[in-house]
């Protein structure tokens, strides 16, 4: 299943992030692809705020992963931009970050593609002038269920 939305500004991005936060649940993996500056981190940051993260949400570009805990749910935000080799995924112990009580966001997934766990949603963000287009492709049964939930909420 696939869903595409155009977001004309930051306010629309924040509103869409809220819909995502209402549609996903633990044991969920989302990958995000897009050019530098496309808005991957901004979207994840807004989803995290809507999930209940309080305080500063930093980009994990230099430390590779930022973990958060909200309501006993582990949320991990990975940024693999600085990976030089896919084996860094295993060497960093990132395979141990995934559990049934975890939501994971992975930016630049192609840098460790062969090591990633089952992905539920693949997000592709493209920018055309000021408009961002987000395409979500579900990759699992749970991903399809959550995407159907998202489309129902978005239709309201």
| pLDDT value, residue 103 | 97
Q: Is the model's pLDDT at 136 over the cut of 80?
A: yes
Q: What is the pTM of this model?
A: 0.94
With b for 16 or more beta-carbon neighbours within 10 A and e for fewer, the 107-144 pattern comes to bbbebbeeebeebbbbbbbbeeeeebebebbbbeebbe
Cα 109 from Cα 19, distance rounded (Å): 23
Looking at residue 120, which CATH number applies to its domain?
Answer: 3.40.50.300
| pLDDT value, residue 27 | 94
Q: Going edge to edge, which strands form the sheet with 65-70?
A: 2-7, 131-138, 121-128, 28-33, 102-107, 73-79, 65-70
Domain carrying residue 47: 2-155
State how many domains the chain has. Answer: 1
């Amino acid at each position: 299943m696939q869903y595409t939305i155009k977001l004309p500004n930051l306010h629309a991005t924040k509103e869409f992030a809220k819909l995502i936060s209402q549609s996903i649940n633990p044991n969920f993996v989302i990958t995000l692809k897009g050019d530098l500056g496309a808005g991957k981190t901004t979207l994840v940051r807004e989803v995290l705020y809507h999930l209940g993260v309080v305080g500063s949400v930093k980009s994990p570009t230099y430390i590779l992963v930022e973990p958060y805990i909200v309501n006993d749910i582990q949320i991990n935000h990975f940024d693999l931009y600085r990976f030089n080799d896919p084996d860094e995924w295993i060497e960093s112990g990132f395979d141990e970050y995934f559990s049934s009580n975890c939501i994971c966001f992975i930016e630049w997934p192609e840098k460790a593609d062969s090591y990633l766990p089952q992905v539920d949603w693949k997000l592709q963000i493209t920018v055309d002038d000021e408009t961002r287009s987000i395409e979500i492709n579900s990759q699992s049964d749970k991903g399809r269920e959550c995407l159907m939930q998202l489309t129902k909420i978005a239709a309201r």
